[in-house]
Structure 1
């Protein structure tokens, strides 16, 4: 599969993740407004991929002219929880004084590094999973999408599955459907099918029951922001998974590049949690499914305390707060 996000012919080219799994097609984004819209409606998503989007967005703005720093701030603010988006923007801005070509070269370096760093992080994590889980082959549980589609081209948490599958060590992956936009059922399941990895999709609410039945050897998730103390912000439902895993003695492993660590935050209480449109819960395919006027609590992310996490793993190995 091609990169999730790339640069070609003067445009940012992304795989449109809102169309999967029914339709695989590419979008060419030629304005900053188009990029911001793609980020906000999750056509491109996943913390590492957003880092690439932020860097390429600055490169695009630099080539178009205008107020590049104002455009950069629009991009960085498009989604508040994932630290990688602003990180990518700020990294590309360091080259602004050297001209548009230098900014683009830096953005392209971000893309290349992301693939390499996630391969390394997931390889480290695979070793930790094998050390923590004696059963073979392994039964793994995935939440949201932390595969190729969430990164530039390899995957963080799902990258662990690729490493283990190559060695014949995966029995199956239980895939949480993942509210609110079903990134597990739509995207992770699609990636696993493409790779020939056995999987089953389950409702988010079934995860604890699966652990109680002894169906899960390890939980693997990515991260959108990691606080200095090791608290992890990730897709809503991750916190509940970690509580269930701790109760059942199931290892809980977080995999992400070090750019996801926000050392400015002492702990997870400082993470800004994005709230999604109420219609994601009150409607299905444009048809109302709740009583008119129903109030909604629809956070996109939650924060899992470090005490519930077996290991946070980056390209440098196990993260030590």
Structure 2
């Protein structure tokens, strides 16, 4: 059984504290939006799909414990809390998607004047809770599309995949995006090996992806970030498959720092480069990657590991959490639940209306 990033049952919500992995499996109880904001900001939970789900479920569990005087009071509270949750990690579009979709549905319910205050509150809770199941279903469909597309390139032969950061069940509600493609290939007995980068400075590859590969008995090999180019040269890599925190209208993709250099190396070595992105990570409201806000993280993430200093005291640091890969380097395609798309197809396939239909 794959690792579970969260448990949500009957309004009880807890998330796996990923800062403790791989040494300890411990769940943190979430009772309100402030708890949700904190676990996202501290990176106790991370991964673009997962943080959107955690934001939604944080709101749901908070609303279950509240009563409101009026629909205006409810609307003001939900608006304020969703806007607050968005500030926890600004680069990933998923929390903004939760914000936009829930507010749109809430406003529609309020304006309809056909539902009672209690009914509207329950509708918001139900819609927020729907994100978890929807994410798992989307990931499984996305993974199948990606795996079949890669296998078609190699006439069904077993393949060797390089991935970056963590995009598995720990970054989603279940199954995974890029690592979901790997998981599907393994289930079909067509995965020879998955190589994962350590993903400095936060080590999501060595701490989390390696942990998932070992836990799920998927053949895996860990490499240092600086080994990726020579790996492509010498180890017969079939494809690079990475996740995404935001894909904009022209196909430019923000993902964990280090993704851009993998795409450059893959282009040079003629290795197909894929981005696995559910519709909730696709933002057609931005025209290019130049418009994406890139989060910068504390220098302590670079200069220390688990509180142990590894850098010279006093050195200046630059620590962007993400980089942007230009669409022209995504040579394999963008793997979505609607199929594997060329960057030029995104705007037609993923309008705001399409995303709302797909999620609910």
TM class by shorter chain equals over 0.9
Q: Larger deviation: 34-43 or 3-12? A: 3-12
Indicate whether 1:198 and 2:219 are aligned.
Answer: yes
CA gap of 1:291–1:204, structure 2 versus 1, over 3 A, is same
How far the C-alpha of 1:286 sits from its partner, in A, is: 2.0
Normalized against structure 1, the TM-score is what? 0.95
Q: Larger deviation: 202-211 or 124-133? A: 124-133
Q: In the TM superposition, what whole-angstrom CA distance separates every residue of 1:153-204 from its partner, at most 9, and x where no partner exists?
A: 1100111111111121111111100012111111111111122111111101
Q: Give, in whole Å, the separation in 2 of the partners of 1:156 and 1:292.
A: 38
Name stretches of at least 5 consecutive residues in structure 1 with no aligned partner.
none
Q: In the TM superposition, what whole-angstrom CA distance separates every residue of 1:93-152 from its partner, at most 9, and x where no partner exists?
A: 345444332222112211111111111111111111112235832111110011111111
Normalized against structure 2, the TM-score is what? 0.85
How far the C-alpha of 1:4 sits from its partner, in A, is: 1.9
Q: Could you say which residue in structure 2 is the equivalent of 1:297?
A: 318
Q: Larger deviation: 158-167 or 52-61? A: 52-61
Q: Could you say which residue in structure 2 is the equivalent of 1:165?
A: 186
Indicate whether 1:187 and 2:188 are aligned.
Answer: no
Q: Give, in whole Å, the separation in 2 of the partners of 1:99 and 1:19.
A: 38
Root-mean-square deviation over aligned CA pairs:
1.7
How far the C-alpha of 1:2 sits from its partner, in A, is: 5.9
Q: Could you say which residue in structure 2 is the equivalent of 1:229?
A: 250
How far the C-alpha of 1:288 sits from its partner, in A, is: 2.8
Q: Could you say which residue in structure 2 is the equivalent of 1:8?
A: 9
CA gap of 1:277–1:172, structure 2 versus 1, over 3 A, is same
Contact map agreement 2:248 2:282 (CA 8 A) in 1: yes
Q: In the TM superposition, what whole-angstrom CA distance separates every residue of 1:32-80 from its partner, at most 9, and x where no partner exists?
A: 2211110011111111111211211222343344833222211111100
Aligned length: 321
Q: Give, in whole Å, the separation in 2 of the partners of 1:2 and 1:249.
A: 34
Q: Give, in whole Å, the separation in 2 of the partners of 1:285 and 1:221.
A: 26
Q: Could you say which residue in structure 2 is the equivalent of 1:86?
A: 96
The structure whose Rg is larger is: 2
Name stretches of at least 5 consecutive residues in structure 2 with no aligned partner.
67-72, 111-118, 347-360
Matches within 5 A, 1:138-177: 138-177=159-198
Q: Give, in whole Å, the separation in 2 of the partners of 1:292 and 1:243.
A: 33
Q: Larger deviation: 244-253 or 81-90? A: 81-90
Q: Give, in whole Å, the separation in 1 of the partners of 2:172 and 2:306.
A: 28
